Structure 1
């Protein structure tokens, strides 16, 4: 009887484990195998070719550019979303009469479809678009760019659009963390003569660590898995200037190079795992120590 009671909780877990295995574990293992093959649309047989697909990833200039763009996008959006999100959260945590309306305004872009955002931003980012006109009007002509057609700035432009869209989501998480901090800490710091910066560094940041950890992980994983923003704004162009790993996977499968596409996808999975898990462990340890 005791044994059956102990196993009762496992009975409830097994259906979820079965579904997880069917839709994730088994396809992941199959994908790992196919990444070492020459699996193509125009071939009836599949041959094991070892590391050839992965060697191609690190020798093909387009594929290397896609990896580079993905890393640039990930780093830029992790920094941008968290800095902007935290700044908005701190500002809207103050006693402003319009804070609830402003919270809704800043959060609303995160629930919009990226397709809608692309329809809005594409004409604004043209050489003769709204953004360049505004820069010209305020005397900042030197800042005008061909935002979506200049290979040197296009990936940064897409990153800025992503920051604009998602910073409100990070703001909401930081805001929840700020509201869980007792006001008594700040009152005691004020009595001790601590200024705003000292209070922020010694009270806000340490107690906001759980929210920071969550946001860092979400933005990092989202940045490495970027696809939608690039696909709808530039399609990987001009040329291949804004290709990222996600668009390369789509293109590989579209061209029938299924083995290569699976290899790129496997590499992306490995990169996310290798980067995210150690970072998560480090942040958790830091969170506990603080």
Structure 2
């Protein structure tokens, strides 16, 4: 009877584990195998080639550029979305008459389709677009750029659009965290003579760590898996200047190089796991210690 009680919870888990294994774990393992083969659309025979696909990734200039752009995008969006998200949350947690309206305004871009955002921003960011015209009209000619056609800044432009779109979502999570912090802490700090900055540093940030952990992980994984923003705004151009792993995977599969495409996808999975899991463990420990 005791054994049955202990196993009862496992009986409830097994169906979910079985479905997860069939539709996620098994395809992942099959994909891992094919990443070590020369699987192509124009061939019937599939041969094991070892590490050749992965060696090609680290020797091909386009693939290395895609790897670099992926990390640039991930770092830029993690920093931008979280810093701005915290700033907006703190500002809109104050007693402003229009705070509910402002919250809705800042959150609304996150519910828009990336396709709609691409249609809106593409003409705005052209060389002769509204952004450059506004900058020139206020005398900031030096800031006028070819936002989507200059290879040196295009990935940063795409990152800025992504930050604009989803910072409101991070803001909402931070707002929920801020509203769970008791005002007694701030009142005690004020009595002790603490400044607003010290209260923010020693009270707000430590107690906001759970929300920070969630947002950092969401933005990091989303940044490393970026695809839609690049595909809609530039398609990986100009040339290959804004290619990321997501767009390279699509192009590689489209060309019929399924083995190489699977290898790139496997490498992307490895990067996400290797970066996110240790970071999550570190942040969890930091959260507990605080």
TM-score bracket, normalised by the shorter chain, equals over 0.9
Query: Where in structure 1 are there 5+ consecutive unaligned residues?
Result: none
User: 2: CA distance between counterparts of 1:278 and 1:6?
Assistant: 32
C-alpha RMSD of the superposition: 0.6
Alignment coverage as a number of residue pairs: 290
Aligned equivalent of 1:288: 288
Within a 5 Å distance, the mapping from 1:112-261 to structure 2 comes to: 112-261=112-261
User: 2: CA distance between counterparts of 1:212 and 1:71?
Assistant: 20
User: 2: CA distance between counterparts of 1:83 and 1:285?
Assistant: 21
Deviation per residue, 1:200-245 (Å, 9 max, x gap): 1111111111111111101100000000000000000010000000
Aligned equivalent of 1:34: 34
* CA displacement at 1:6 relative to structure 2: 1.9
Secondary structure at the residue paired with 1:48?
A: coil
Aligned equivalent of 1:60: 60
Deviation per residue, 1:259-286 (Å, 9 max, x gap): 0000000000000000000000000000
Secondary structure at the residue paired with 2:241?
A: coil
TM-score, with length taken from structure 1: 0.99
Secondary structure at the residue paired with 2:94?
A: coil
User: 1: CA distance between counterparts of 2:237 and 2:103?
Assistant: 35
User: 2: CA distance between counterparts of 1:31 and 1:286?
Assistant: 35
* CA displacement at 1:3 relative to structure 2: 2.1
Deviation per residue, 1:59-105 (Å, 9 max, x gap): 00000000000000000000000011111000000000110111011
User: 2: CA distance between counterparts of 1:175 and 1:199?
Assistant: 17
Aligned equivalent of 1:104: 104
Aligned equivalent of 2:18: 18
Deviates most, 25-34 or 9-18: 9-18
Query: Where in structure 2 are there 5+ consecutive unaligned residues?
Result: none
Deviation per residue, 1:33-58 (Å, 9 max, x gap): 00000000000010000000000000
* CA displacement at 1:138 relative to structure 2: 1.1
TM-score, with length taken from structure 2: 0.99
Deviation per residue, 1:128-174 (Å, 9 max, x gap): 11100110111111001010011011000000000000100000011
Aligned equivalent of 2:85: 85
User: 1: CA distance between counterparts of 2:215 and 2:2?
Assistant: 43
